[in-house]
Amino acid sequence: MNQNSPFKIRPLTPSDRTWLEAFIIEHWGAKEVIAHNTIYLPATLPGFVVEIENQFVGVITYQIRQTDCELVTVNCTPRLSGIGTALIHAVEEIALEAGCKRCWMVTTNDNLDALRFYQRRGYRLSAIHYGAVSAARNVKPAIPKIGEYGIELQDEIVLEKHLKPRTDTLAI
């Protein structure tokens, strides 16, 4: 993990799971997250958390399958603080250690902030699944019809990053 991070990032532990499930319900509308026709329970996945003064300010969950690492959930407050970037770098390092060749994630067509965030961190658009969010509503009716910025919530957008060892850390 990047030792130069200004935040204390640590892996999620079993004692974090109850808090994480409540957090996912609060921020994602249910304990389940649906992406690409897959139902995830983020509170059961590996991940990292950032705490400042005994308060959780960021969390990321992921899943590694063979040579791919999927970023399942990423949340942080305050935004624009570097916490999200630090969390993504932590997962990318774990993914590299596990032999992954790429990290990828799914967002929705209304999430302009996420599209900007990931692209600025080297992720590229790789697919659009038209109507995927509309279909997911059949499984998770709590998904709103109107998303951020008043945009109709309909499609999933996949972003990916091909991994290579980072060179911005100092060698000791």
Count of CB atoms situated within 10 Å of the CB of 160 = 18
4-41 pLDDT, tens per residue?
556 789 999 999 999 899 888 888 888 888 888 888 99
75-117 pLDDT, tens per residue?
887 676 789 999 999 999 999 999 999 999 999 999 999 999 9
**% of residues, the chain, pLDDT over 90:** 64
For residue 139, the model assigns a pLDDT of 87
> Is beta strand 156-162 parallel, antiparallel or unpaired with respect to 124-129?
antiparallel
User: Taking 70 as the threshold, does the pLDDT of residue 166 lie above it?
Assistant: no
For residue 125, the model assigns a pLDDT of 97
Reading the block at residue 96, the tokens are 């590299």
Q: Which domains does the chain have, with CATH numbers?
A: 9-162 (3.40.630.30)
For residue 6, the model assigns a pLDDT of 62
Q: For residue 114, which of 145, 85, 150, 146 has the smallest C-alpha distance?
A: 85
Exposed e or buried b per residue across 55-83, where buried means at least 16 C-beta atoms within 10 angstroms of its C-beta = ebbbbbbbbbeeeebbbbbbbbeeeebeb
